[in-house]
Amino acid sequence: AQSVSQHNHHVILSEAASLELGCNYSYGGTVNLFWYVQYPGQHLQLLLKYFSGDPLVKGIKGFEAEFIKSKFSFNLRKPSVQWSDTAEYFCAVNSGTYKYIFGTGTRLKVLA
């Protein structure tokens, strides 16, 4: 069965620190990969997605993620976080259907 693992459940960083959130998935076929973000009191919203092509994808607000097929990973990065990046981040996978498999989420707190 498909699964998604997010290794960091809680991350605390100071402003301007670099961020990397890990995401690994298990699925043998072609997958689409997503990162969603949920700011306090707001909807889940799409941060970035990968379907094919360049494995380094850029999303909104300076976030990027790299798909490494050999490692079944899709880690999220940002070179310099801001206080406003405080949120919960979810990695998700689907195999081209409507079914998403989500990770358990990572709560990021950025200290001003």
Partner 1 sequence: SAVISQKPSRDICQRGTSLTIQCQVDSQVTMMFWYRQQPGQSLTLIATANQGSEATYESGFVIDKFPISRPNLTFSTLTVSNLSPEDSSIYLCSVMLGTEAFFGQGTRLTVV
Binding residues for partner 1 restricted to 15-34, rule: CB under 8 A: 32, 34
Identify which of residues 84 and 104 has a Cβ nearer to partner 1 in the complex.
Answer: 104
4 contacts partner 1 (rule: CB under 8 A): yes
Contact 81, 13 (CB under 8 A): yes
Least distance from partner 1 to the Cβ atom of residue 14, Å: 26
Contact range with partner 1 by CB under 8 A, out of 19-27, 45-53, 67-75, 78-86 = 45-53
Quickly list DSSP for 34-85: EEEEE-TTS-EEEEEEE-SS-SEEE-GGG-EEEEEGGGTEEEEEESS--GGG
CB of 23 to partner 1, least distance (A): 12
52 touches partner 1 by CB under 8 A: no
Residue 1: strand, helix, or coil: coil
CB 91 to partner 1: min, Å: 9
Q: What is d(CA 19, CA 71) in angstroms, rounded to the nearest whole number?
A: 19
Binding mask 68-107 for partner 1 (x = CB under 8 A): ----------------------x-------xxxxxxxx--
**Distance spanning both ends of the chain, measured CA to CA:** 41
What φ, ψ does residue 2 adopt, rounded to 5°?
-70, 145
